[in-house]
Chain A
């Protein structure tokens, strides 16, 4: 049963990830990427990391993809008139990605021996144990993450701010 759910979620995730790359319209790409993210959240539930699954759906499907969709609609890119690379470059890209996948799988071969099945304690994915780890062992990185988010917020506001009249931007080409 668990294996069947795994196969279904994996198939859907890989298929919609391919559709992200192959679909012409950027809006469709965003929607397919949301499907992929939901499948990954399903994998998290299968892996007994329920809290992470909820956070994943909220952060990715709820915040990041809405931001992408908003930018695409703001820039009015929802039409199928975008430039494409030549066929030779596409074939080269496909071959490179396939070789990379073989390389990754080959180099990760043998890790299943390291991942010895230790089922003494259950429920590391629950809020209680996760918070315990985060606020004892990883307290300093947690605080630094807040600084990172603050810096990103300031940076985004500074970049997006309209410029003054005086400094004229030279248009590229």
Chain B
């Protein structure tokens, strides 16, 4: 395996920032709740990528263990979130988040 350190860490910062911003863009841009969930997954993955990059560059295994924990939290979040989404669809026959604006009050 060739060493990954031939790539500057800046590149990973740029890539992770771009992926995270695309996730934020999706949350702000779309109204379908499922797409918003997927964009949240995208943001989690951007953070994971940066964490693995720094873990490798600093030669510290703790960062990669944290990525495991983030994956477990993401799995739990998706299971509960999609269950809530199905419940919402059962009540409103739609996954449009604007129908749920009553939650603001």
A binds B: yes
**B36 to A: closest C-beta gap in Å:** 10
CB pair A82 B32 closer than 8 Å: yes
Closest CB of chain B to A65's CB: distance in Å?
9
Q: Are B32 and A105 in contact (CB under 8 A)?
A: no
Given A26-B32, A100-B24, A115-B58, are A156 and B14 neighbors across the interface (CB < 8 Å)? no
Instruction: State the majority secondary structure of interface residues on B.
Output: helix
- Is the pair A119, B86 in contact by a Cβ cutoff of 8 Å? no
What residues of A have a CB within 8 angstroms of the CB of B74 in the complex?
Answer: 64
Q: Is the interface of A mostly helix, strand, loop or mixed?
A: helix
- How far apart are B20's CB and chain A's nearest CB, in angstroms? 6
What residues make up the interface of A, taking CB atoms closer than 8 Å to B? 1-3, 6, 10, 13-14, 17-18, 20-21, 26, 29-30, 33, 36-37, 40, 43-44, 46-49, 52, 55-56, 59-60, 63-64, 67-68, 71-72, 74-75, 77, 82-85, 89-90, 92-94, 96-98, 100-101, 104-105, 108, 111-112, 114-121, 124-125, 129-130, 132-134, 137-138, 141, 145, 148-149, 151-153, 155-156, 159-160, 169, 171-173
